[in-house]
Chains A and B, each alone.
Chain A
Amino acid sequence: MRWSTPLLLLGFALLPAGPVLATQYERLLTEHSRIDFVSRQMGVPVEGQFRRFSGQIAFDPTRPEAASALLTVDLASFDMGSREVYDEVVSRNWFDVRQHPTAHFVATGLRHLGGDRYEVRGQMTIKGRTRDITVPFTFRPQGRTAHLTGSFALRRLDYGIGTGPWGDTSVVADEVLVRFHLVAAEAGATPPAARPGGRP
């Protein structure tokens, strides 16, 4: 977790200063959240997910410019339902989890697109490589929680994911669709009782 400490500090640095007046969502309820992805292999969409991730967010829909987010994904929690695939994907050609156990996303800016739609800009770091990405998402308050749902296309080769013989994008497509459904609790709210499945 060598990246965690500086990024954690950066994440806190992005937190808004001063008293919070409007509803502020800040605790990520990971047990209700989900990060999954769809990779295309020989034209076949194959789903997988990351079972462990954590994050700090600060999001006030009335003040999007003050929002901040830091997400950390434990790459070893990768799951595509196959032991053989897992052993390959944690290896050096793919995630190289021994050298780079986690992936990070740090938000650098947020824009309101209208209605419940927002767009977050930020830096994605995987396998030691950082790229600027822009991710649209919807924001829906629900009781004392908020649901942030979105997806974006990640180019795996930008991060050196699947190199060597796996660089052949006719077998495994370069674009991977990453989907997320994050549930954040209001500041000070008690988390709702756990329910099965993280999806609405």
Chain B
Amino acid sequence: MKTKWKVSPYLYILPAFALLFAFRLIPIVMSFVISFFDWSIKGTGKFIGLMNYVNMLKDDVFWQSMGNTFWLVIIVVPASIVFSLLFAVLLNQIKAMKGLFRTVYFMPFVTSLVAVSIVWKIMFNEQTGLMNTMIGWIGIEPQKWLSEARGIFEIFFSGMGITLPKWLGGPSQALFAIIIMTVWKGLGYNTIIYLAGLQNISKVYYEAAEIDGASKMRQFWRITLPLVSPTTFYVLIMTTIVSFQAFAQIYLMTDKGGPLNTTKLIVYYIYEKGFDTLDMGYASAVALALFILILALTVFQKRLEKHVNY
């Protein structure tokens, strides 16, 4: 039945649309426009064409920030997927205390990034931090963590007496500390998503496998992993997007992306260029580069999903 409308539907979407238009669409377009200007904080700026982009390609710190961000994403995403799937599979098999574990794993996700960044910064303190106390219990000597600019591979191999070339050094230990904290923060959310995904898998498959005498391990590889793959793709895409945007950790845990810019992530660099150096045109160019990168990765992952899905 078609109802006659007394008030136009447009009036109903107007409040949401007006706000989105003013505070999303316009800024997104402006971001694009500003990236072609030499735009400092006040005034209107000067049109400089593609200069911001040209400068960006020549900017070592930009590339270093990109490299750092890639390290973070490349480690955080798989680590988060592996651990959250493991937790979810284990949680899915127990009955007693399930709620308690779920709550415990989810707690970091609901707490503010600012507060936990401060806590982790102090945890990684060289002299008084908990991290060094804990690794001391298992016989590892104290590490410099957030003030260590050397790469983690470099440190590992130098412990064995092998000197690695600089470019093989890997992410700095400082960035690695950020990575640990970032994985910890997001793990609970992914676990919950996986848990919901696992509960959607019909018990019939497992019963059949049980009758055929398949081991639990085999059931995991042959049933769970393939059937939970839509969830894996969701987790993959979301974690990638969120990891690219890491900012508060860097702002609070490091000294402006130091030591030696090894923890400078791309969003922090945008912030720094925009609000410390006040070079907003340049910062917008970097922001757009990041956007295109995230978009391309998302599209790529969606394609991959179509290719792989069961």
Judge: A and B partners, yes or no: no
Residues of A within 8 A of B (CB): none
Which residues of B are at the interface with A, using a C-beta cutoff of 8 A? none
